[in-house]
Amino acid sequence: MSREILPQPGMEIIEMDVRYCDVCGNHSGWVIEDHNGGVEVSCRCDLDYYLKEGKPLPNPGMICPDGTLWWRPISDHKAADGRSWHTPYFGGPGLHPHKK
Ligand SMILES: [Zn+2]
């Protein structure tokens, strides 16, 4: 799927490698963001894996449920003004559930 991936306003994406996941229908991969460095983009499968293994979720982390990059809810990131922001659990869209 070659849909364009768009950042949220305020994100400064330098480089990215984000691919569509056929299993859950979200995108996953990584980006390099100007203020936060390398950031993992997690699809539903990735997040399920962390939860199942009892591992901490990537922080900061991004999700890409709809071709748009979002800061993953309940993660922290630095903004262009150097301040730290916490994304609340309602601060973005949820990920699509698995297709199957
Ligand atoms: Zn997936």
Q: Residue for token digits 């071709």?
A: 67
- The answer to whether residue 63 sits within a structural domain is yes
Q: Are 89 and 74 in contact (CB under 8 A)?
A: yes
Percent of the chain with pLDDT over 70: 96
pLDDT in tens, 41-57: 999 999 999 999 999 99
- The answer to whether residue 100 sits within a structural domain is no
Going from the Cα of 82 to the center of ligand 1, the distance in angstroms, rounded, reads 32
Going from the Cα of 51 to the center of ligand 1, the distance in angstroms, rounded, reads 14
- The answer to whether residue 4 sits within a structural domain is no
Going from the Cα of 69 to the center of ligand 1, the distance in angstroms, rounded, reads 15
pLDDT tier, 29 (very low <50, low <70, confident <90, very high otherwise): very high
Going from the Cα of 30 to the center of ligand 1, the distance in angstroms, rounded, reads 14
CA gap 6, 27 in Å, rounded = 12
- The answer to whether residue 76 sits within a structural domain is yes
pTM: 0.89
Going from the Cα of 52 to the center of ligand 1, the distance in angstroms, rounded, reads 14
pLDDT tier, 100 (very low <50, low <70, confident <90, very high otherwise): low
Mean pLDDT is highest, among 6-10, 34-38, 77-81, 83-87, for: 34-38
- The answer to whether residue 60 sits within a structural domain is yes
- The answer to whether residue 5 sits within a structural domain is no
Domain tally, the chain: 1
Going from the Cα of 81 to the center of ligand 1, the distance in angstroms, rounded, reads 33
- The answer to whether residue 57 sits within a structural domain is yes
Going from the Cα of 23 to the center of ligand 1, the distance in angstroms, rounded, reads 5
* Domain interval for residue 38: 13-87
- The answer to whether residue 2 sits within a structural domain is no
Q: What is the pLDDT of residue 1?
A: 46
